[in-house]
Amino acid sequence: MKLKGYKGFNGDLQCTPNGKIFQYKIGGEYREENAELCKSGFHFCENPLDVFGYYPPSESRFCEVEAAEVSSKKDSDSKRSCKSIKIGAEISLKSMCDAAVKFIFERVDWSDKKATNTGYQSAATNTGDQSAATNTGDQSAATNTGDQSAATNTGYQSAATNTGDQSAATNTGDRSAATNTGYQSAATNTGYQSAATNTGDQSAATNTGDQSAATNTGNRSAATNTGDQSAATVSGSNSIAIVTGENSYAKGAIGCWLVLTERNSDYEILGVKAVKVDGKKIKSDTFYELVNGKIIEKS
C-alpha cells in the first residue's frame, strides 16, 4: 500500500539522517532495505503541519511524497518511515497550509458532534474532540475547543475559532476572523479586511484578501498575506512573515525572517527580498516594506 505524505528538506534539498547528508532531487525514487522509525528508511509525515516540527518553515523546502512499504510504527505525531519513497512536486508554504487544512477536514467525524448553520447571524459550537462547526450564513460564528477540530465560515463578517491542537479555522467571507490558539494549527482567510491569528508553535496563518492581518506568536510558525495593503507579523523564534501583495508590510521578532514583495500599478512583481530581523539593521517589532528595490521602515 502506498501512502501520500509530505517531507521537508534544507535549502539544498538534503536531509541528514543519523548525521549523514542524503541528497534528494525532485522526481527521484529511492529505496532502502530496512524501515524503522527514527533509525532507518526514509521519513515523512502524513500531516503537513507535523513537518514544521522537523524543518522550520522559515528556512526549509517541502515536497509531496509517495511512500511504499511503510512501517507500522508511528511517532507521537504523524511521522512514518518507509523503505521506498518517490519525491513529488515541490510545494510552497501556502500549499502546505492548504494541505494541512484538507488533512484535518478529511479526518473530522462529520456524523458525530457536528453543528451546522446555513442562516445568517447564526452560531455553531463544538466542545468535543474531532468536531466540526460550519456556518454558511453571514455574520455567523463557529467555535471549536476540542483537538483536531474544524470551524468554517463562508459568510462575511464571520468568526471561526479553534483552541484545540491540530485545528483548522477557515473564513472565505469578507471582514472575517479565524483564530487558533493550539499548536500545529491553521487559520485561513480569503476575504478582505480579515484577520488570521495563531498563538501555537509550528502554526500557519494565511490571508489572501486585501487589507488583512496574519499574525503568529508561536515558534517556527508562518504568517502569510497575499492581499494588497496587508500586514504579516511573527513574534516566535525561527518564524517567517511573508507578504506578496501590493503596498504590504511585515514585522517580526529578532531571529525571524521577513519576505517582502514589491509590485507596480499593473501588479507585476518588481522584486522580492528576504531579510533576517537582527535587531540592528532590521529592528524587531517594526514594520518593513520593499520600495524601489530597498527594504525600508514603513512610514
Global pTM reads 0.63
The pLDDT assigned to 108 comes to: 56
Q: Which set of grid coordinates corresponds to residue 105?
A: 477536514
The pLDDT assigned to 29 comes to: 97
Q: Which set of grid coordinates corresponds to residue 271?
A: 522584486
The pLDDT assigned to 117 comes to: 67
CA distances from 22 to 34, 42, 60, 158, 296 (A): 16, 10, 15, 47, 39
The pLDDT assigned to 116 comes to: 64
Residue 271 and residue 274: Cα distance in Å, rounded? 10
Residue 63 · residue 9 · CB < 8 Å: yes
The pLDDT assigned to 66 comes to: 97
pLDDT digits (tens, 9 = 90+) for 106-150: 665 545 555 666 666 676 677 766 676 777 777 777 777 777 677
Instruction: Point out the residues of the chain with pLDDT beneath 50.
Output: 110
DSSP letter assigned to residue 32: -
Residue 119 · residue 139 · CB < 8 Å: no
Residue 189 · residue 72 · CB < 8 Å: no
The pLDDT assigned to 111 comes to: 54
The β-bridge partners of 240 are: 222, 257
HSE at residue 76, side-chain half, CA atoms within 13 A, is: 1
The one-letter amino acid at 57: P
pLDDT digits (tens, 9 = 90+) for 253-287: 999 999 999 988 888 889 999 999 999 999 999 99
The pLDDT assigned to 121 comes to: 65
Residue 252 and residue 155: Cα distance in Å, rounded? 31
